[in-house]
Amino acid sequence: MDSNKIADVIDRVKSAKSPVEIIWSSHPKWPQPASIEPVGTELHTFRISVLDSSFNPPTLAHKTLALSSYPGESQGDIYQAHLLLLSVRNADKILKQRDATFIQRVEMMVHLAEDVAQNLPTQPPTTVAVAVIDEPSFVGKSTKLHAYLRPRLPDDVQVKLTFVLGTDTITRFFAPRFYSSQEIMLQSIQHFFLQPSQGGEGSEIVCARRASTLTPQEEQEFLQTDEVKQWVSAGAVKLIDIGEEEARMSSTSVREGIRHSLGCADPNEPPSWDSTCSPRVAKYIKDQFLYGFE
């Protein structure tokens, strides 16, 4: 993909000329399925999986999360579309010298999205897209995405956004330090989760357990806090398990693995990091000399 076009899109988002920009999609009709007939009145809820991350770089854990099934109770509870989302303004992460630029991250996200698209079920058909947004909070992202998606689907279809997170991220969602006050946090979270009939947006969180974050006891204590337990009981916060290997993967470990392999005394020792990324992403990292490659 043309880097200059990506740069132009990022500039438009940063300058508030556009709240959300789709940079790549598996089908031009996204979020609607790549079928002859558009979404019709028989489908009253259109559920979109939103994988929001720094993608610095994307790992196989990201791919697993993007392909994870919706943990619904009925067979019809599925994702109709998937979105890989990058915010150019993060609430608690500052771009470091050796980090990938936003343009490079988007290019890696496109490689990841292509891998995801190849593994999505064809029946029922689903689509995947890559987008950028200038919004640090999940609550703000939900609002901007709803505003973007609403005119792109029939009026009688309810957009349901499901943010797919890791346990390291969900703790930040409920952390008061990311809001101007405790009261604002509670109001924002309520607006995020409440159904549209109750004045909210009806968004959800699906949280994947990560090996390096919460212990089982810490997880239970977190889920039983006043701010969290009501939404778990309401089914708005769900937890899932992914593979043991994927649960241990992180972008940080990839970056550290690259630096370790570059400083390794034995040049014949195979690098451990590239098995945690897809072949396309690993090749891109090497071709672009990212994270310490000279």
The CATH number of the domain holding residue 35 is 3.40.50.620
User: Residues for the chain: how many in total?
Assistant: 294
Q: What's the average model confidence in pLDDT over 243-254?
A: 90
Residue 292 · residue 254 · CB < 8 Å: no
Residue 290 reports pLDDT greater than 80? yes
**Would you say residue 290 lies in a domain?**
no
pLDDT at 259: 82
Residue at 121 is within a domain: yes
Cα–Cα dist 137/173, whole Å: 8
* Residue 230: inside a domain: yes
The confidence score (pLDDT) of residue 265 equals: 44
Interhelix angle for 102-119 vs 279-287, to 10°?
A: 160
* Domain assignment of residue 259, yes or no: no
Count of Cβ atoms closer than 10 Å to residue 235 Cβ: 12
What would the pLDDT profile of 182-240 be if each residue is shown by its tens digit? 999 999 999 999 999 999 999 999 999 987 778 889 999 999 999 999 999 999 999 99
Residue 242 lies in a domain: yes
Closest CA to 61 of 244, 256, 193, 226: 244
Averaged pLDDT score across all residues of the chain? 89
Total number of domains in the chain: 1
User: Residue 26: which of 131, 103, 101, 105 has the closest Cα?
Assistant: 131
Look at residue 190 and tell me if it is in a domain. Answer: yes
The answer to whether residue 195 is domain-embedded is yes
Pairing between β-strand 20-25 and β-strand 127-133 as defined by DSSP bridges? antiparallel
Interaxial angle between packed helices 226-233 and 216-223, expressed in degrees from 0 to 180 and rounded to the nearest 10: 90
Asked if 33 and 127 touch (Cβ cutoff 8 Å), the reply is yes
- Tokens matching residue 137: 């909070």
Q: Specify whether the CB–CB gap between 133 and 20 falls below 8 A.
A: yes
Residue 39 has pLDDT above 90, yes or no: no
CB atoms within 10 A of CB 245: 13
- pTM (whole model) above 0.85: yes
Q: CA-based angle 24:52:57, to the nearest 5?
A: 75
**What are the pLDDT digits (tens) for 9-23?**
999 999 989 999 999
- 3-class DSSP state of 233: helix
Domain span at residue 130 reads 3-247
Interatomic CA distance for residues 216 and 190, integer angstroms: 26
Arithmetic mean of pLDDT, 47-64: 96
Q: What pLDDT score does 160 carry?
A: 96
Residue 271 lies in a domain: no
Give the 3-state secondary structure of residue 267. Answer: coil
pLDDT at 41: 46
